[in-house]
Each structure stands twice: as structure tokens, then as C-alpha cells.
Amino acid sequence: MKATTLYSPLIAALIGAACLPALAADLAEGTVISAANLDQVKNATFDGHTIGSMLSERMEWRIRNSGWKLTLAHAKKVALDPNWVKASKANEGKTKINDATCKVDGWKAGEPFPEIDMKDPEAAKKIVWNLHLGSLLGDVSSVPNFTQLLIDGKNGIHAELVAEFTRFNMKGRLTGGSSTIGDDDESARQLLFFKAPSEVKGIGTYTMMYDSNKVPDVWAYVPAVRRTRRLSGGAWMDPVGSSDQLQDEIDGFNARPCWYPGYKLLGKRWILAPANSRVDVWNQKASATAEKYPTLDRSAPFWNLNDSFEPREVYMVEVATPAQHPYSKKVLYIETAYPRVHFVETYNRKGEFWKFIEMHSYVNPKAGDIRTVSASVIDFQRNHATVSLIDVSTWRTNFDAKPSDVSLTRLESAGR
């Protein structure tokens, strides 16, 4: 037998290997992914994952069709509040979803289900309950100044609103002597009102949320008539003012899990997400748009935010909505290391893609909270978006406060 015959399979294999395309190069931190280079970098790796594998279908569509650019940053370990970690670990094996009462039995504070089994038929529901009860937002959180920009995709910013937001948790508290304050049925209080421009100044809502299947009590104050009126029980799915954002989309998810008829766990994957965002998003002393909103893209469609995006592992949870809800479903991209929404996709009643929501997060280890620095709610069907930018310097968490500081009286006084 000739040597060439003996080794021909090996020679063929080596020749075949030589003809294979070279392995994709690892990208450098700071590389900007855009429509111009997406096809060239999709197979390249970053932090051990290919770029293509870290883009959902809608993310890739946005990059290709609406000028979205993602600047790569290495993943950073997020420091979690030790009190939250301790409370979460204490829940392991002791908590259970009670569908009849719309509660998690055995929960007092922290993440109610610290360990998620992907094969558990209740896994999706448990992930959402973790988000609802265990998010690291602090016992009391006050955002004295944030701006809400209304943006037309062709013409740019057409309204610049300034508002204040406060949330006081009555249950699940990690500071003070008790995890619960007041009536056992009340879970949280929420106050939102506009401060500028003059035509909307004082308009706002006060919300009482409950640890049950009861929908929130919501009151609205209208300064023009100096009247407070109680809103219908469906106000939790109404828009926030004239924005593209619904009440149940604040921080990505702002609703009692039992208000939705069903959840489906679509899987677990890695995506590029703004988990450690820039905080210089709103310079109130500047007048020119470029200096006032340094992270806002100045080219059409004018709503894209320039930020760093890092590889994060997420759960993908599909949420079915009640018949009266504007959406037929939404898909949440929820961080696996701690309860936090990075992205949301929503679909209309015909099942067509409607909105894309992105949450830019800032980790504040001093107070143990994880904050929203900026958020975009993009309505692709009407080519319009609402971009919220937070003044982080005035944000306060876990300060000395009482439940009466977040009340109907406070709403009425703010409107006068």
C-alpha cells in the first residue's frame, strides 16, 4: 500500500481544515456595533459570546433599521445589598405562590424565590414574582427631577416635561425594625406629578397598591379645577400622561403578577444590555440639546441613547395580558443575577410588533439599590418615543421618611 493512500484521509482533512474560514477575532472593548458593521462582526466574539448570539431578533432589527448603536463594555459584577442577599436566602424552600389570594405565602423581604429551576412549571411566574417583590429599589425611593422627552421620529423632540416620582414600600422592607409598616394589606404607595412646563404643572397621580388581588386605588389631581378624582380600576394599564409609556411599564414592569392571565418561560440566554450605564444623561444647566442631553443621538429617529452595553444573562418571559389591555402579549428580558428588566417587547391585539422598551441601569452600592438612569419606550407603529432621563445627583434612597410623605395630601399640595 502506498503512503499516499494510507494517509489520504488525513491529508484530505488537513486540506479541508485549511479551507475553513478563520476563527472570528475577539472584539475590543469600546467597539461600536452599528448597521454599517453588523454583518462583519456578527460572528466575532466578546467576553466569550458571539455578537449575533447576544442580539435578539428585535435588537438586530433596530440596529439595521433605526440607527441604534451599541458600544461594547466588559461585563461587570454587580454588588448586591447584603441585607437583600440575606433576606433572599432565608426564603429558600419556605415560599409558595398562592393564586387564590394573589400572594406569596411565607415571604417577608428580598427575592421570594432565590433558586429558579428551569424545569419547574411555575418558573416563569416565580421569576416575575421575584421582579415584583424582590427588585432592589430601596424601601423608599425619591426622584425629585426627571425629564420626559416626547420625540417624533422625523422631527425630533416636541415636548420636554419635568416630573417628580416617589415610591414608599409598606412591605418587604430591609431597613428599620420591621419588614412591614401599617395595614398588612397595603404593599406600596406611589406619587407622580409634573413640575414643568406650566401647562402640565401640578398634574399627577397618587397610587395605593395592595398585597392581594385588589387593583390599585389611583387618584388624579387636576390643578386647573383644583379637584382630585378617583380613576377606574383599569388605570394601571393606562398611559402615563401623554407619553408612550403605560403605568404598568414603569421600571419595565409595574403590576401585580396576578393581573395577567399567564406566563411562559421562553428560555435563558445572553444579550447585550446597559446594566452599568452612564449617569451624565441630563445637564439641566445647558440650553443646547447636545449639551443638555449628552447621551441622546442627534440624528433621526432622535430617540436612540448612546451608552455602553455588556453581556448579561437573562430570562425571557412571555406575558399574556387581559382582554382589556392594549397589548396582546409582551416579552420581558429579565436579569438572572438579580431581578431587573433590561428590555421589553410588546405586541398589539393583531400580534404585530408594537413597542420596544429599554432600561438603562445604575448600581448604587452605597444605598444597596439599582436605579433606572434612563429609559426609552419606542412606539414603532406611530414612529414616536418617550425617553425618560433621570437627574441621578438628586435621587435619594432609604432616607428618613414616613408613609404620610407619600399621600393624596402631598399630591394636592404639589399641584397648588
Coil, strand or helix: which one is 298?
A: coil
* DSSP per residue, 101-135: TTEEET--SS-S-SS--TT-TTHHHHHHHHHHHH-
CA distances from 315 to 61, 128, 312, 407 (A): 20, 10, 10, 35
Tens-of-pLDDT digits for all 416 residues of the chain? 444 443 344 334 333 433 333 444 689 999 999 999 999 999 999 999 999 999 999 999 999 999 999 999 999 999 999 999 999 999 999 999 999 999 999 999 999 999 999 999 999 999 999 999 999 999 999 999 999 999 999 999 999 999 999 999 999 999 988 999 987 789 999 999 999 999 999 999 999 999 998 989 999 998 888 889 998 888 889 888 889 999 899 899 999 999 999 999 999 999 999 999 999 999 999 999 999 999 999 999 999 999 999 999 999 999 999 999 999 999 999 999 999 999 999 999 999 999 999 999 999 988 889 999 999 999 999 999 999 999 988 999 999 999 999 999 999 888 77
Dist. CA 89–CA 115, nearest whole Å: 9
State the fold for domain 131-414: outer membrane lipoprotein receptor (LolB), chain A (2.50.20)
Phi then psi for residue 101, to 5 deg, are: -100, -5
Q: What is the pLDDT of residue 21?
A: 38
What's the chain's length in residues?
416
CA gap 254, 262 in Å, rounded:
16
Closest CA to 395 of 174, 221, 142, 138: 142
> How far apart are the C-alpha atoms of 175 and 156, rounded to whole Å?
43
Query: Nearest-CA neighbor of 59 among 387, 358, 266, 374?
Result: 358
* pTM metric for this prediction: 0.92
Give the pLDDT score at 25: 60
Long-range contacts from 327-335, C-beta under 8 angstroms, 24+ separation: 327/354, 331/266, 332/128, 332/131, 332/252, 332/253, 333/56, 333/271, 333/273, 334/127, 334/128, 334/131, 335/273, 335/275
